[in-house]
Amino acid sequence: MKSLKFKVASFIRFPFCEVAKFFFVLLLLSFQSQTSFSQEEYSTKSKKAIKLFQSAMQKYDSRLDTEAIAELDNAIAIDNKFIEAYILKANIYHDNKKYLEEINEYNRAINIDSAFSPKTYLFVAEAELNIGMYKESKDHLTYFLTLDKIKASLKAQAEDKLSRAEYGYKSSLHPVDFKPVNLGSNINSEYDEYWPSLTADEEFMFITRQIPSNPNERVTHTGMQEDFYISKKNYYDWTLAKNMGKPINTPNNEGALCISPDGMYVFYTVCNRPEDFGSCDIYYSKIIGDIWTVPQNVGTPVNSEYWESNPSFSSDGKTLYYVSNRPGGNGLMDIWSAEIVNVSPMGKISWSVPQNLSDTINTINNEIAPFIHPDNSTLYFSSDGHVGMGGLDIFYTKRDSLGNWSATQNVGFPINTFSDERGLIVNAQGNYAYFASNRDSKNGLDIYGFELYENARPTLVTYVKGFIYDSLSKERLHAKFELMDLETSETLISSNSNEINGEYLVCLPINKNYAFNASKDGYMFYSENFSLKDMTDPSKPYTLNIPLLPIKEDVKIVLKNIFYETNKYQLKPESKAELTKLLEFMNKNSKVKIEISGHTDNIGNQAYNQSLSENRAKTVYEYLLENNIPKERVSYKGYNFSEPIASNNTEEGRAQNRRTEFKIISIE
């Protein structure tokens, strides 16, 4: 009857799915329907022990786990070699995540008869993997794979778990540098805190906190809700986190908030609202001055009838990364992305059709908690599909210039453990990370910070911040601005300053040259260029406050991003973006007449500089004519070195004097 015993034991192990439980209950009922049953069907001959076992099965099926354990203990007291009782106890402990107790019961069953149910080796190895007993798990799985007549599906499971056990064992022998620091009572409380999010300048931190629905209640596992809290950096410490309040927080749950790196938008998850598209949707709100707008559902096609959550917004203000279980993915939960295609005058965002991120990233299992770093090329996320330490591990991947994501890298032990790790974020500098953990905490989940080791760091970035204002009245302005890579003329960021205080903040990789321009109806456009190639301390931002001149006669500005070959009047390719801006200005302000002027330093004779300045101005003039600006609206003139704006006694001054300007001649 050995084959029947194997069949019974093989159905006792249910955690893989509820279907297994259903079949085992059917099997049990088939035994109970008989007027008598053979003792040979079990590993015990005791009818009393069998009766207790069957009673335990009924209680287990009714979710009465404590009573079921008591019945099984009584059965084992009658016959301490009753293998099925040990296996069922192990299964109950597994369902309750009591993995050490589960392991003990499986090992007792194996010690009685190692050949009774070969699957037991697979099950005990899984439990060992769940609590980081990597060597023991590896040994059990290795033995299991030597057995004969193993089903292909079980063999595949065992091979997958063996790769994880081997990885966990090797990684635990070579830990990465990791010294987590609890952020303290200003951020953490007696409740759970998780899902941290930072602005790029690290001035503000947002967290999700689980609090009682009734403020007068103490901490319990019922009657809780999620709200967002915000803390401001005060030198090296965080101020006391305060509830964000309305309109973001409501009496319902809000979770997994991300703040855009510039601090202008928040995206977060809302579940089970009547107006939602699915079970959980992504919402967003924009800050105007110091006030958050009424949140709006991101809408289709980002949200669907399925589950969407865990948003992360790119630093260039173009792409939303998030998690969904919608059809068309690779597995259970996948990471998706959608691009902004339009923002209406009322602030309504339209999105592209979402794209499944990459087969390199998404697996047949779960990928969640994406965080796109402000470098806009390094993505951190959690996965239980890639080989890791067990449960959800944190991984990272980097996107190349062609848009391809690299092979994923595990951030390593002990950042990752046999438990679930998720919600990692990294500051703009790339040297410090934050995450939620219940390690060494008496208050559940707390926010921790730690120095991120070198190999797991993103590309080094800094941030440019400032405000845009009227050069005459000093009034702060809501204006459009763009940042471009001078070498490629690619527009990296196109955005707007804050509607009330005119402030802006953008993240940029170092070791590049950039062009910056700003514009607003009724004003001359502004252009500037700067280099981050020699930046030695990315923690210190590049500050750029931008004055805009109202359009008036005789007002003139320097076209700072017009470049010529040395001692020549041919335009460099880097000038294209600036010329485009000038053309846009002329088309938008059709009643304006301008003069393009060329200026030089005092090196060389006057005749040479007169010719050079005039030809340079003429080159810009001809560009405008070639692009359909009427000849009567544009003139040009060379001024050689007759109108310096700085001293010609220094190289810096001479560089400022070598310039191209345009001036408003008249406004019809």
pLDDT higher than 80, residue 446:
yes
Nearest partner of 418 among 173, 132, 103, 95, judged by Cα: 132
pLDDT higher than 90, residue 649:
yes
pLDDT score for 214: 67
Express as a percent the part of the chain with pLDDT over 90.
71
Q: Which residue has the higher pLDDT, 630 or 542?
A: 630
Q: Within 13 A of 465's CA, how many CA atoms are on the CB side?
A: 19
Nearest partner of 142 among 120, 159, 130, judged by Cα: 159
pLDDT score for 537: 75
Nearest-Å Rg of the Cα atoms of the chain is 33
Span 335-348, pLDDT tens digits: 999 999 988 877 78
Place of tokens 């934050």: 434
pLDDT score for 215: 60
Domains of the chain from N-terminus onward: 2-173 (1.25.40.10), 189-213+223-456 (2.120.10.30), 460-550 (2.60.40.2190), 553-668 (3.30.1330.60)
- The strand pairing partners of 194, in sequence order, are 208
- The strand pairing partners of 571, in sequence order, are 564
Q: Give me the DSSP letters along 453-521.
A: PGGG----EEEEEEEEEETTT--B---EEEEEETTT--EEEEEE--TTT-EEEEEEESS-EEEEEEE-T
pLDDT higher than 50, residue 364:
yes
**Are the C-beta atoms of 292 and 286 separated by less than 8 Å?**
yes
Q: How confident is the model at residue 439 (pLDDT cuts 50, 70, 90)?
A: confident
pLDDT score for 16: 36
DSSP class of residue 64 equals -
Q: Which residue has the higher pLDDT, 1 or 620?
A: 620
Q: Which residue has the higher pLDDT, 201 or 433?
A: 433
Tokens of 525: 């456009």
Place of tokens 């596992």: 221
Which are the contacts of 332, defined by CB distance < 8 A and separation ≥ 6?
A: 325, 364, 365, 366
